[in-house]
Amino acid sequence: MTAGTELGEFLKVRRALVSPAGDGGPRRRVPGLRREEVAALAKVSTDYYTRLEQGRHKRPSEAVLDALAHALQLDDLATRHLFDLARAVASPRRTESQSAVQHVRPSLHLLLASFTEHPAFIRGRRTEVLAMNPLAAFLLANFPAKPVRQRSLIRWTFLEEEARTRYVDWEKTASSMVGTLRLDAGRHPDDPLLAQLVGELAVNSAEFRTWWADHRVVERRDGIKRLNHPLVGRLDIRYEALTVTGEPDQTMFIYTTDPGSESESKLRTLASWVYGDTTARDLIETAAEHPGSQDPQPKDDPGAR
């Protein structure tokens, strides 16, 4: 789909979610606002708004976008996504830049290695796992051992049976990941690797097709994941998502458990199995000697381009 079509589809879907204020007339054939009602609320002509939905208008102003966000009752995240989509229509970016290889700084590999009691990993574009400490690999899945183009969290979640048993709330987690991928698609609409991933997921998963069509956007910041590990059973994990400074589209996720909880005890058991007698100093020294050993996109990998 073109950037203009994506903008139009987003407006159409969000328009259908808004209930008409004080509508006491006959039951409508379709839910939500009509085009002319959105246009009136945004103080633009119906023809102008129709051209936006049809992808025929290329440069909506910031004032118009703000007015549309208000008319469609968008929250801050959805408003940001609207601006990303409009920016892509007005100024298409070069395709080559969209598939640029992401690398994790050596200092971040050292930081991940130091977390011997906490699973931690760095997620990049397309929900790809760029680096991961051993405890996170044991808790979730060993993404660094997978082929480069199979290190996407969302691909694992939808296409591998292991993920459906690992996540207690699989539907909630999976649908949220679709919203995260939508947000990424708004920022990088010309990314051919993202388009390839969306196509693979759409062909192989009816759930993905349904959730992708609703244009929901999600940004992961913090929360709780309920996991079912085959060796220790149920764990309730708290996560924090920290933006990596100076590295666009990289986020570090750190998992913790409540002090004194059964989940804390189980996580310590997993850590003892993973590390054994290996100390944090040993792991940090190994990471320092081989800082790119977990980099999922090595520079000489032709598949990363």
Do residue 152 and residue 193 come from a single domain? yes
| Angstrom distances, CA of residue 278 to CA of 30, 111, 142, 271 | 62, 16, 19, 10
* Average pLDDT over the chain, rounded to an integer: 86
- Predicted local distance difference test score (pLDDT) of residue 301: 42
- In 3D space, the residue among 192, 214, 186 whose CA is nearest the CA of residue 88 turns out to be 186
pLDDT at 126 over 90: yes
Number of domains in the chain: 2
Q: Any idea what the CATH number is for the domain that residue 198 is in? A: 3.30.450.180
| Angstrom distances, CA of residue 276 to CA of 31, 134, 135, 182, 293 | 58, 12, 12, 40, 21
CA dihedral sign, ordered 178, 250, 110, 293: positive
- Predicted local distance difference test score (pLDDT) of residue 299: 37
| Angstrom distances, CA of residue 62 to CA of 28, 58, 186 | 32, 13, 16
- Predicted local distance difference test score (pLDDT) of residue 97: 54
240 secondary structure, DSSP code: E
pLDDT band at 297 (very low <50, low <70, confident <90, very high): very low
- Predicted local distance difference test score (pLDDT) of residue 57: 73
**CB of 174 within 8 A of CB of 158?**
yes
The whole-number average pLDDT for the span 97-103 is 70
pLDDT band at 141 (very low <50, low <70, confident <90, very high): very high
The count of residues in the chain is 305
Choose the final residue of a domain: 43, 62, 92: 92
Whose tokens are 């549309």? That residue is: 68
pLDDT digits (tens, 9 = 90+) for 169-215: 999 999 999 999 999 999 888 899 999 999 999 999 999 999 999 99
Do residue 134 and residue 274 come from a single domain? yes
Q: How far apart are the first and last CA of the chain?
A: 22
Do residue 176 and residue 129 come from a single domain? yes
Do residue 287 and residue 144 come from a single domain? yes
Do residue 69 and residue 206 come from a single domain? no
Do residue 83 and residue 119 come from a single domain? no
- Predicted local distance difference test score (pLDDT) of residue 82: 94
pLDDT at 24 over 60: no
Alpha-helical regions (H) of 142-279? 153-159, 161-166, 170-187, 192-204, 206-213, 262-275
Do residue 47 and residue 110 come from a single domain? no
Percentage of residues in the chain with pLDDT exceeding 70?
A: 83
The whole-number average pLDDT for the span 124-132 is 96
Q: Which residues pair with 252 in a beta bridge?
A: 122, 242
Q: What φ, ψ does residue 121 adopt, rounded to 5°?
A: -155, 165
The whole-number average pLDDT for the span 150-160 is 96
**CB of 170 within 8 A of CB of 159?**
no
221 secondary structure, DSSP code: -
The whole-number average pLDDT for the span 115-122 is 96
Domain residues for 234?
106-296
- Predicted local distance difference test score (pLDDT) of residue 1: 52
The whole-number average pLDDT for the span 103-118 is 94
Instruction: Tell me how far apart the alpha carbons of residues 40 and 166 are, in angstroms, rounded to a whole number.
Output: 48
**SS3 readout for 10-58:** HHHHHHHCCCCCCCCCCCCCCCCCCHHHHHHHHCCCHHHHHHHHCCCCC
**Region of poorest pLDDT, from 21-25, 53-57, 231-235:** 21-25
- Predicted local distance difference test score (pLDDT) of residue 302: 36
Query: Do strands 222-229 and 251-256 pair parallel, antiparallel, or not at all (unpaired)?
Result: unpaired
Q: What angle do CA 183, 205, 12 make, to 5 degrees?
A: 45
Q: Any idea what the CATH number is for the domain that residue 77 is in? A: 1.10.260.40
- Predicted local distance difference test score (pLDDT) of residue 161: 94
Do residue 172 and residue 263 come from a single domain? yes
- Is the model more confident about 30 or about 55? 55
CA dihedral sign, ordered 286, 291, 296, 297: negative
- In 3D space, the residue among 10, 78, 52 whose CA is nearest the CA of residue 217 turns out to be 78
pLDDT at 67 over 90: yes
Instruction: Tell me how far apart the alpha carbons of residues 105 and 13 are, in angstroms, rounded to a whole number.
Output: 39
Do residue 173 and residue 67 come from a single domain? no
Helix H or strand E encompassing 87: helix 76-90
The whole-number average pLDDT for the span 117-140 is 96
**Region of poorest pLDDT, from 4-13, 78-87, 166-175, 290-299:** 290-299
pTM over 0.75: yes
